[in-house]
Amino acid sequence: MLARTVNELFPPLFPFSAEVTEARQLAKEIIMYYNPGMGFPLDESICYDYCWGDVKRLMETCDIRLVNLETPITGIPYKMNKRESTDKVAGKHYHFRMHPRNVRALTRSSIDVVNLANNHIMDYGIKGLIGIKMGIFGMTDAPCRNYPVFCIDPSSYPHMDDIPYLLSLSEWKESNHVDVLIATVHWGPNYSWIPQRYFQHFARFLIDECGVNIIHGHSAHHVQPIEVYHDALIIYGSGDLIDDYAIDPVFRNDLSAVYVAEINKTHEGTEVTSCSVHPISIKAMQSNLTAPNSAEYKWLKSLSKSFSGTTVNAEPSSINIVVQRK
């Protein structure tokens, strides 16, 4: 039961309401009574593991972990005004919910499968049950030749391939109720600091005309800047995650990153709210996270500042670089 009081062990995310305040106070009293030295709220580095105790180690030894999830995972807020219509299903005394960001309490415990057939999963109706529906498509600027890639004219770049098809993606997204559309694009030459103007225009075309929310670019074999454009995220060059290339002393293809985009869905809609960039170093064909006080970390942060409209903040106690909308 990850809803109600247990949900309040995690970082507070729901807006103020009498029910939330009561659950939060109860969570604090329980923690302070049994673990007076821990403090409240729990530190984010331990809070998602806390409720599993040492059972987590046992679960990690299993091949498949199946649980019953007796709560919807939804960001739907409580109505502040009692006279307003409510998103809660009528005729029930108890309504459970867990905030979507706190799904990490499940993923950190390595849960593989959850059962949703129970008496609380519909506490907030169908809106409380629907997750984030994603669409993903890939393309390349490489010539077709005999390769089964998305391409019509072997000498063309992506925006010349099939404009009618690309323009149809926006309608496809709407008709299939897709919340977030991701384009993963292999484009541009190796070793180029700034993507060519051509590719910048094409990225914005995908966002403006085709309904794309996130562009995952690759091909340069090193990281390139990030751009936030019209509430969408453009990763022009994501670098290599694992690499056996000889190290280029200028472009440093041994330095890369893992990109974690945060997507939030509420009753008002779905949006990409931020992207955390986790710098990594590749040595002897092994990738490891980069120390936050290193020159490599600072270099990657400065590279992400190349485009206007993109705000970059370094987390002082972590190795995250957070790119947020202005």
Contact between 262 and 274 under an 8 Å Cβ cutoff? The reply is yes
Give me the pLDDT at residue 60, please.
Answer: 86
> Do residue 85 and residue 143 come from a single domain?
no
Q: Which residue has the tokens 């867990």?
A: 98
> Do residue 95 and residue 150 come from a single domain?
no
107, with CB counted inside 10 A (0-12, 13-18, 19+), is exposed
Count: domains in the chain: 2
Q: Which residue has the tokens 């890369």?
A: 256
> Do residue 178 and residue 253 come from a single domain?
yes
Domain end, chosen from 95, 129, 163, is at 129
Domain end, chosen from 80, 96, 129, is at 129
> Do residue 121 and residue 148 come from a single domain?
no
Which domain range does residue 251 map to? 134-324
Q: Identify the segments of the chain with pLDDT beneath 70.
A: 1, 11-19, 45, 76-91, 130, 142-162, 266-267, 304-326
Structure tokens at 239: 């670098």
Using DSSP's 3-state secondary structure scheme, residue 138 falls into strand
> Do residue 116 and residue 187 come from a single domain?
no
Distance between CA atoms of 165 and 147, rounded to whole angstroms? Answer: 20
Residues forming a β-bridge with 274? 262, 324
> Do residue 146 and residue 74 come from a single domain?
no
> Do residue 167 and residue 72 come from a single domain?
no
What are the two backbone dihedrals, phi and then psi, of residue 184, each rounded to the nearest 5 degrees?
-110, 115
> Do residue 55 and residue 187 come from a single domain?
no
Give me the pLDDT at residue 92, please.
Answer: 72
Burial 62-80, CB ≥16 within 10 A → b, else e? eeeeeeebbbbbbbbbbee
> Do residue 97 and residue 166 come from a single domain?
no
pLDDT digits (tens, 9 = 90+) for 150-167: 444 444 444 446 677 788
> Do residue 145 and residue 81 come from a single domain?
no
pLDDT digits (tens, 9 = 90+) for 263-295: 877 667 788 888 888 888 888 777 888 887 888
- Please enumerate in sequence order all residues whose Cβ is within 8 A of that of 206, keeping only pairs 6 or more positions apart, or say none: 166, 183, 212, 215
170, with CB counted inside 10 A (0-12, 13-18, 19+), is middle
Distance between CA atoms of 291 and 306, rounded to whole angstroms? Answer: 22
Measure Cα distances from 259 to 103, 275, 276 in Å. Answer: 19, 7, 6
Measure Cα distances from 275 to 27, 104, 107, 195, 247 in Å. Answer: 30, 17, 19, 20, 27
> Do residue 94 and residue 174 come from a single domain?
no
Domain end, chosen from 108, 129, 150, is at 129
> Do residue 80 and residue 220 come from a single domain?
no
